Amino acid sequence: MLDPSFFSYVTVMSITPGPNNLMLATSGVNFGMRRTLPMMFGITLGCALQIAMAVLLLDSLLLWMSAIRLPLTLLGCAYLLWLSWKIFRAGAPEMREKARPVSLVNGALLQVVNPKAWLMATNVALIYSASSSIVPMMSGFALLNLPCILVWAVMGDRLGRHLQVAWKLKAFNSVMALSLVITVGWMLVEVLKP
């Protein structure tokens, strides 16, 4: 049986800003809700799989995570900087036709380099695996995570209707790209602390 605190922890971690939610809002603005759904389901799938991995490999995962924390963070930061560049360029009218939303598979793979998702998966495994089995944790996570990240995708979709003027869309994408760059800076400061 899942502890009641599991529900509040997963909800808070799922709905607060992070790389996933920034990407979902941006995708909603640029591609609409329907074309953002695969990414949204991919994120939930990727996070649920992370929880399964963390639960199944908890001891070795903790040793592994401490050993690869810096390289994983640097890889994640490089990926987020690349995504921020793509977001920044997405507002340019000439790039609009070439752009594609993130797929289900890529949404799931995004979790590999998402430090917030790893933190959440590791914490869920550490705190709740002793009192619950893996299937209820993965299912509970998915049922809580999906509506939380849906908020960001819907918000982006609705906001996108008001950003149909090229300069407005460019300004929004620039702010979202800058938000990811700031996230990268914050992550680097955290991982490089003595």
Measured CA to CA, the distance from residue 14 to residue 146 in angstroms comes to 8
Share of residues in the chain with pLDDT > 70 (%): 93
Enter the pTM of the model: 0.70
pLDDT of 49 = 94
Query: Quick check: 62 pLDDT over 70?
Result: no
HSE, CB side, 13 Å, CA atoms: give it for residue 144: 23
pLDDT score for 128:
80
What is the 3-class SS of the chain, one letter each residue? CCCHHHHHHHHHHHHCCCHHHHHHHHHHHHHHHHHHHHHHHHHHHHHHHHHHHHHHCHHHHHHHHHHHHHHHHHHHHHHHHHHHHHHHHHCCHHHCCCCCCCCHHHHHHHHHHCHHHHHHHHHHHHHHCCCCCHHHHHHHHHHHHHHHHHHHHHHHHHHHHHCCCHHHHHHHHHHHHHHHHHHHHHHHHHHHCC
pLDDT at 97: 63
Q: 190 or 152: whose pLDDT is higher? A: 152
Over residues 75-101, mean pLDDT: 75
What percent of the chain stands above pLDDT 90? 27
Mean pLDDT along residues 105-125: 85
Which comes out higher in pLDDT, residue 166 or 69? 166
Residue 101, pLDDT above cutoff 90 = no
Per-residue pLDDT band at 27 (split at 50, 70, 90): very high
Residue 24 reports pLDDT greater than 70? yes
Give residue 189's pLDDT.
82
What pLDDT is recorded for position 170? 86
Helix, strand, coil percent values for the chain (each to nearest 5): 85, 0, 15
> Quick check: 66 pLDDT over 80?
no
Of residues 61 and 184, which shows the higher confidence score? 184
Mean pLDDT of 123-127: 80
What is residue 96's predicted lDDT score, i.e. its pLDDT? Answer: 58
